[in-house]
Structure formats: structure tokens, C-alpha cells
Structure 1
Amino acid sequence: MSRKVIVTCALTGAGDTTGKSGNVPVTPDQIAADAIAAARAGASVVHIHVRDVATGQGSRDVALYREVVRQIKASDVDPVINLTAGMGGDLFIDPSNPTVQLPGTDLVSGLERLAHVEELRPEICTIDCGSLNFGEGSQLYVSTPDMLREGAARIRELGVKPEMEVFDTGNLWFANVMVAEGLLAPPPLYQICMGIPYGAPANPGLLQAMVNMLPDGAQWTSFAIGRNQMPWVAQSVALGGHVRVGLEDNLYLSKGVLATNVQLTERAITIVESMGSSVATPDEAREILNLGQGN
């Protein structure tokens, strides 16, 4: 029997991509429509950020999440819903005076980042497993061990499965510590995020090394951004993992050809199936990840 691979479609993200492609969904209607279409195309999981309708920038507005989730649940498909809980960790500092926060900073407590999770109780939410320099300039993403332990404990109380976002080997080290401390119900779910400056580079050897660090029984996905998105589908399947694609991570189907979330989902499914595996249905994904069982 072929192995079941969970395919996640990450619909929009929070990056400054809306001016680069008209296919990036912004409004709740657009995000929900893309989620529904990706699920119809075969995605097992839809990963959801929301955006401010006026500016197109990432948002933590609970009402926006509420409307996206409402529309998906009212549709004819039932994908696993995975809500980001990473918003609220952005810190921009003045390099000449690091105590000064610059415009663009959105820095709140770990528990405040869970406001929409508290209300909507998705099956999965993300938890970003460490702080890092986020690209060029003076932007930092802040996620401390104290924040992470507190957040993981609350997520488990809510019965939600945390997807641990791992941007570098130190993030993976701490994710493993949380598993060892019993903060997460089995099986732990890891998302290995590669190619994001300045986290883990998109290097196949590094992916193999990180997979070797995972605890027994872990479930994991990996992705790489930009042109490495589809090669990483193959890398993940070959190493026994699940896969993620979508406009959050890559805007192009091929050089110069802008993609849609459906097209990226369909291409990922083709790769998965061509490698002798099959795509998990949403219910099969729920069984693999033990969702709804006191996560």
C-alpha cells in the first residue's frame, strides 16, 4: 500500500506579496474561496493567514479569521483548518538606538497571539519555535522559550494540535525540548521551513540532518520558498514527510508564469503520486495526526 502524504496549501501568508501577484487572496471572501478551491483540488489541509482588507498587510483581526472559517465550514468540502498563530512577533528596531521600535512593529504576548485560536478552536494552529533575524535590515521575529512553553500549554488545553514551525536547527532543538517536557500530545507535528533569510537554507543535506533530529513517532512537513517549492515536495516525500505548497511561499508556476493556489496544489499532488505515494484525504490526515484527541 502506498504511503499517505498530507498536502497543505498555505494560501496567502503575511508577506508583502499582494503587489507582486493579483492571485494572492486578500479579503476573507478571496481567502475562503481559495481554501475551498484548493480542497476541491485535493489539499488535505489549508493553512490560513488573514490580511487587512484596505492595506493588504497581514492582520490579527479575529473577525477576519471568523469569516474565513465560517465560509469554509459552510462549503461542500471539509479540509483540516490550520490557522497561523505567528502574527504578533514582529519587531523592527532602529539599529542606531535598538531600544526604539520602528513602524511595522507588531509585538504582543504569546497568549495574545492566540486570540483567534481561543475563539475558533481550529484543528491545528502554528507555533513559531524561536526568535530569528527575519531577512535584511533590522526586523526580528520574537518568540522566546517562556512564550513558547506558555503558548504550547494553552494550545493543548484548547484541544488544538500545534504545528511547530522550525526555521533553524536551534528552533528544532527547542521544539524537541517541548516534546520531551510533555507539552504536546503525540504525535508531535513539525513544519521545517527552509530558505527564509536568515533561517535554515534550502539545502537537501541540511533537511536530512534536521529530519534525523526528530523524535521517534513525529509527523513532519517541510517546505522551501520561491523556486525551491516544488523540488521540496519531492525532497519531503523521499524522506518520509508531508508537503506544503501555496502562494504564501511561492508566486510562480514556472519562470515568469504567476500561479494560483489551485495550480500549486495540483502540481504538488502530481509529484506526490508520481513518486508512488497517494494524497491523504482530510479525514485520513486527521487520523495520521490524531486530531481531536486532546492535542
Structure 2
Amino acid sequence: MARKTIITCAVTGNLTTRDQHPGLPATPEEIAQACLDAADAGAAIAHIHVRDPETAKPSMDIGLYERVVELIREKNTDLILNLTTGPGGRFVPSDEDPAVAGPGTTIMPPEKRVEHVARIRPEICTLDFNTMNSGAQVVINTPRNVKIMAEIIRDNGVKPELELFDTGDIVMANDFLAAGHVEGPAMCSLVTGVKYGLPCTPDAMAMASRMLLAGTEWTGFGIGRFAFPMLVQSWLLGGHVRIGMEDTVYLGKGQLTAGNGELTARAREFIERLGGEIATTGEARQMLGLAQ
């Protein structure tokens, strides 16, 4: 059977704002509909963050996650759901004392970052391995905290998608797999385009993909104007692909997208025009070792 490509749609993310796109999904109803639209367009996996329905700012409210999942499952019981655990690791040093957290800091105990995963038990959740500069801020994921999160994820029967932003993250992930903190075969995402992480270049993605352990199912993606070029690059290198309004709000240069369904449809078009085939949710589950 020819290799099939899994499309993941990341429908809203943590950093995209409504200043960038007034139609960014924010309420549970909008986020759920965005996931359903992506599924209709060919996505096998929906990657989900939640937002405060009033302000559209990022949230980790468990009730919001439960509501989004409930709304999706009312209409689609097949779509694979991937809940984020990324929020809760950001540190902003105060101007007066860099050892003291300033406004914008979101650092929380690792147990709290996966609380919604333990309650909802989706098929997949993310697990970030990056400690890096992020603008004027720092994202911190220490080995201790990642290990705690990995154990809770495993104990609840959820498959982690290992989020890798630079080469050191890949080394750490491989160490976790060797030590049994994460069970293989792994599912990984190679994130390019975050400043001071892996750049959006074919060389960077190719090098990163070669560092992964044999048997790893991986997805590569870029952000901003490189979202579609890196999507194609991932496919050419043998990876799966990701798109969505977390990564870009543009369908083309200067053209705001109508939404996540349109972005997913464009991703599918690229892959099929190159001769690829899109994986169904059933095929994706088989490739990722999820329960059928």
C-alpha cells in the first residue's frame, strides 16, 4: 500500500490573535466547528487549544476543553482529537528582579498542565520538549517536569505527540524513549519558524528528521508565510503535514483564509497534486498505534 499522509489541523493555537484574523475561533462552538470543517476537508487529526469565549485570550479552563470535545463528538465520533499541554511553561522576568516572574508568566506545576488530559483522556495530547527564548520571554520545560507530564499522560492511556523545536529537544526526546519515560514508537512534530529554534529551511527539517529514532511517525510544519512551503517539504521528506490558523491565517500572499476548512483543503490539494494520498482517520489510527 502506498504511503498515506496524515493531515493535522491546528485550529486556533495559543498566540494567534483576532487582530491578525477577526474570524479566529475562540468560543467552544467556533473551535468545535473549525475542527469539524477541517475533518470534512480531509484532516484526520484536530489539534486543540481553547480560548476565553469573552476575550479570545488563551485559556486552560478544563470546562472549555470538555465543551469543545462534547460538541465535536455530537457530530463526529471518528475525528482524532489532540489536546495541547503547551500552555503553562512561559516565564517573563520582571524588570526589577529577573529572578521574579513578571506579567505574562504562565508557569504552573506540570500536574496542572495535563489535568484536562487526565480528565478527558483524548487519543493524543502534545508534550513539549523545548526550553528556549520566545520573543522577550522564555519557555521552560525541564526534564523533571516533562517526565512528570509524560508519566501522567501514559497512565491515562493517551499517546503523546512530542513537540520538538530544536536539535536539543530531539536529543532529549530520544533519551526519554530510551529510558522508557515515553513508549515507542514515537509520534513527533518538528516545529520550524519559531525564532531561535529550527529555521524554516529544507536543510533544517531534513537534519531534524534524520535525528529521529527509526520507526517514528513525524509531522513537520512551519509558521507564518512558510506554513505551506514547509508543509510540502515535510511531505517530500516522508513526514506527515500540519496546517491551521495556529500556524497561518493566510491562504496566499495578502489573502486571509476563510477558515480552517479552507486551509486543510489547500493542504490536501498540494499533497494530491504531488501524487500523495491522504490518510483516513482509520488509517491514521493504524499508523499511530491508536485503538481502532
Q: What TM-score bracket applies, with the shorter chain setting the length?
A: over 0.9
1:46-195 paired onto structure 2 within 5 Å:
46-76=46-76, 78-135=78-135, 137=136, 139-195=137-193
* More divergent stretch after superposition (3-12 vs 106-115): 106-115
Letter aligned with residue 246 of structure 1: G
Which position in structure 2 is the counterpart of 1:4? Answer: 4
Q: Which sections of structure 1, spanning at least 5 residues, go unmatched? A: none
Letter aligned with residue 20 of structure 1: Q
Which position in structure 2 is the counterpart of 1:282? Answer: 281
Matched residues in 1 for 2:200 and 2:286: separation? 30
3-state SS in 2 of match to 1:276: coil
The answer (yes or no) to whether the contact 1:5–1:280 under 8 Å persists in 2 is yes
Which position in structure 1 is the counterpart of 2:40? Answer: 40
The answer (yes or no) to whether the contact 1:40–1:77 under 8 Å persists in 2 is no
Letter aligned with residue 290 of structure 1: G
Aligned pairs, number = 291
Matched residues in 1 for 2:273 and 2:13: separation? 28
Matched residues in 1 for 2:91 and 2:249: separation? 26
Matched residues in 2 for 1:102 and 1:246: separation? 31
Letter aligned with residue 225 of structure 2: R
The answer (yes or no) to whether the contact 2:9–2:242 under 8 Å persists in 1 is yes
Matched residues in 2 for 1:188 and 1:95: separation? 40
Matched residues in 2 for 1:104 and 1:165: separation? 22
Letter aligned with residue 194 of structure 1: T
Deviation at 1:288, TM superposition (A): 0.4
Matched residues in 1 for 2:159 and 2:51: separation? 23
Matched residues in 2 for 1:76 and 1:201: separation? 36
Which position in structure 2 is the counterpart of 1:250? Answer: 248
The answer (yes or no) to whether the contact 1:134–1:197 under 8 Å persists in 2 is yes
Matched residues in 1 for 2:180 and 2:4: separation? 27
Deviation string for 1:183-221 (max 9, x for gaps)? 222220110000011211111101111111111111100
* More divergent stretch after superposition (16-25 vs 207-216): 16-25
Matched residues in 1 for 2:231 and 2:99: separation? 41
Matched residues in 1 for 2:151 and 2:22: separation? 39
Letter aligned with residue 82 of structure 2: N
* 1:204 counterpart (172, 179, 202): 202
Matched residues in 1 for 2:60 and 2:68: separation? 13
* 2:232 counterpart (213, 231, 234): 234
3-state SS in 2 of match to 1:126: strand
Matched residues in 2 for 1:34 and 1:278: separation? 23
Deviation string for 1:46-69 (max 9, x for gaps)? 000001112211110000000000
* More divergent stretch after superposition (90-99 vs 54-63): 90-99
Deviation string for 1:117-147 (max 9, x for gaps)? 0110000000110211112x2x111110001
* More divergent stretch after superposition (155-164 vs 11-20): 11-20
Normalising to structure 2: TM-score of the pair? 0.97
Q: Which sections of structure 2, spanning at least 5 residues, go unmatched? A: none
Deviation at 1:2, TM superposition (A): 2.6
Which position in structure 1 is the counterpart of 2:23? Answer: 23
Matched residues in 2 for 1:15 and 1:76: separation? 27
Deviation at 1:16, TM superposition (A): 4.2
Deviation string for 1:68-96 (max 9, x for gaps)? 00011110452100000111111111255
